[in-house]
Structure 1
């Protein structure tokens, strides 16, 4: 993911009683080391719980010829970003001004300093802006004479505040989930304040959307009345694809997923979702926790073999613990036909 622009600023804060101070940097001219850091940052960011959203309508209002007309508070970031994208201000000024506007938020929630890193990058035709608060930690290393020395290193595992904006999707206006931000569950108030500062309105609930997709998939498999082996293969294809997208920080695309689910009929699953009206968007942010919970229960005993998707337990399938009974409310059509033929 080539870096087009990168810039860092340092925020120093000695204690809760003392206000934070800002030391501004300049846009980097040599991005060789930044490329390596960015790759490691992306790996850490993709592994974090995240939420998706978009700028509120107020976030792009204002007259770029008059900075006094800029929207207040949470809309300010989008306004400054629009000024940068239009060429009115350079990358250094954009990042400096937005970091300055962050100072009250950080003063209110943090007692230590940090670095703010901004990266404008491009991959293929897509351009993104990444911004993150990076802390440093004490570490150790060896110098050229093999003496042990204390060093400072960036702690990429601790990403309390980090966001990525798909600039291409934003400008096309065809998505409501072009902002992705880390959800640090231990700092909910800080994350919420950061979201408001971005001017970000939550667009989709990744967990709910992923659960709906998995429900649609199970319904589709049942409607197709597939053999167990084929059902298992399709389930594995879905989970592998969804986990891969989550690892890369990219959405699940229904068109691509439909092709993987049925190569012979690549539009079948997609058409099924649309015809049944599950309310799913064409692109869905994958929720890793929901995907991890999606598995199949299976067992065999005394000539009986049973397997089913875990989320069906408590819905179309119930387990009576006291009587040790499994109750199937919706018998598969193929099985039902065989039973009827036997009885007849």
Structure 2
């Protein structure tokens, strides 16, 4: 992933803890700095695995902020990257001075991957470690903790610049840890964005729609498993890339012979899903199939059906199936004939 521009500023709380001070970098990093590129890549990988809020820039009102104007001026060559980064850091310092009690290094980067350009920033903390020096002796060695981000956000510049007609409406994202709500709200305010989607809820609804679709198609176990694997693999790939799932693209992957079938199922049943859904890692991790085989009996079903159409009575050691698959019912009916 080519690193077009990058810089690192420092944020520190004052001794009284009432405000944050900014120590600006002397200048941007060299665009050919492989170490800096590796750092930003690690941060992006960590960011992609975290829970996030998604949305777009607010067009007007109290939510709108100056960042969109700064990015616009930067994209037009009217504002230097260093000036943009300094303005952003100073605004973060003012907005977060009451919620951020620990200092750190603010890494800001402009990247390109394929045809997509992104603007990314993340606050890193440094921890003390131990290394081996030139004399082969143990020496103190400070290390950046790239696995635990305090705050981070990303703007998909390409999608934003495409506009509402052709572009995504989920092009801004930020870390949204439930244990740091005030901090997340502060970052959202700095971004000047409006959240447009509840990723966990949308992911749950998508999985429900998928299970309904598989049942309506009356697929055998192998075909059902293949389609489930396709959905999960696609979701994890989008998560790795830091991009939302697209319903039309997913539909084509789920059934290559009828690429519109799953998409039409969603629309016809009116699940209320957005065209693009940021995959939620926790929700996906809970989406799996229970399977078992013993004494000539083979059972397999999606985990989310447990408690609704399927019940497990642990005391009696039995499963209660409330909605018998159509194919099975037909076979049972023929047996009586």
TM-score by length of 1: 0.89
- Structure 2: runs of 5+ lacking an equivalent: none
Question: Which stretch of the first structure deviates more once superposed, 119-128 or 143-152?
Answer: 143-152
| Structure 2 residue 14 is the aligned partner of structure 1 residue 24 | no
1:41 to 40, 43, 56: 43
Q: CA deviation at 1:128?
A: 0.5
Partner residue of 2:199?
206
- The answer to whether residue 69 in structure 2 is matched with residue 79 in structure 1 is yes
Structure 1 CA distance, aligned partners of 2:52 and 2:325?
Answer: 37
Note closer, same or farther for the CA distance 1:17–1:317 as it changes in structure 2 (3 Å cut): closer
Query: Is it true that 1:169 corresponds to 2:162 in the alignment?
Result: no
Structure 1 regions of 5+ residues with no counterpart?
60-71
Distance 1:17 1:306, change over 3 A: closer
* Corresponding residue of 2:116: 126
How many residues are matched? 332
**CA-CA distance at 1:152 after TM superposition:** 2.0
Aligned residue in 2 for 1:191: 184
**Does 1:306 find its partner at 2:299?**
yes
Is 1:135 the counterpart of 2:125? The answer is yes
Q: Which of 312-321 and 201-210 deviates more?
A: 312-321
**TM-score, normalised to structure 2's length?**
0.91
Alpha carbons of 1:149 and 1:14: their partners in 2 closer, same or farther (altered >3 Å)?
Answer: farther
* 1:58-113 C-alpha deviation (Å, 9 max, x unpaired): 28xxxxxxxxxxxx785122222222223221111111112111222332122332
Structure 1 residue 290 displacement after superposition: 0.7
Task: Decide whether aligned partners of structure 1 residues 73 and 15 sit closer, same or farther in structure 2, where only a CA change above 3 A counts.
Answer: farther
The SS at the match of 1:108 is coil
Cα distance in 1 for partners of 2:145, 2:130 equals: 13
Alpha-carbon separation, structure 1, partners of 2:125 and 2:299: 51
Q: Could you tell which deviates more after superposition, 241-250 or 175-184? A: 241-250
Q: CA RMSD in A?
A: 2.1
Structure 1 residue runs of 4 or more that deviate by more than 6 Å after TM superposition? none
- SS at the partner of 2:98? helix
